[in-house]
Amino acid sequence: MPEVSLFYGIRITMYYEDHNPPHFHAEYNGYRVLIEIENGTVLKGLFPFKQLKLVLAWNEIHKEELLNNWKQMQEYEKINSIEPLR
């Protein structure tokens, strides 16, 4: 599972051959959540509210890059790192 970004202790990853809809995984302090890229909704999991707000803001800022990574992963191509939230 390639790491896409890391910020404020939050690790963002994407999996090759993952299921639709396009999404990414976020991990923080033992919490895990799946976020749908298009509309920024939680598909599965639990996350502390403060960190979830950061992840959703990051998703909105980098939506196009995330969708490009999703397409690349479906083609088994190398994905790009994405700038962390600062």
Between 23-27, 42-46, 48-52, 73-77, the lowest mean confidence (pLDDT) is in: 73-77
Mean pLDDT score of the chain: 96
| Mean pLDDT in residue range 56-77 | 96
Look at residue 15 in the predicted model and tell me its pLDDT. 92
13-42 pLDDT, tens digit per residue, is 999 988 999 999 999 999 999 999 999 999
What single string gives the DSSP state of each residue in 4-48?
Answer: EEEETTEEEE--TTPPSSPEEEEEETTEEEEEETTT--EEEEE--
Residue 37's closest CA among 9, 78, 74, 75?
A: 74
Q: Is the predicted pLDDT of residue 70 greater than 90, yes or no? A: yes
Question: Are 67 and 22 spatial neighbours (Cβ–Cβ below 8 Å)?
Answer: yes
Q: Tell whether the torsion through CA atoms of 64, 67, 15 and 23 is positive or negative.
A: positive
The pTM of the full predicted model, rounded to 2 decimals, is 0.94
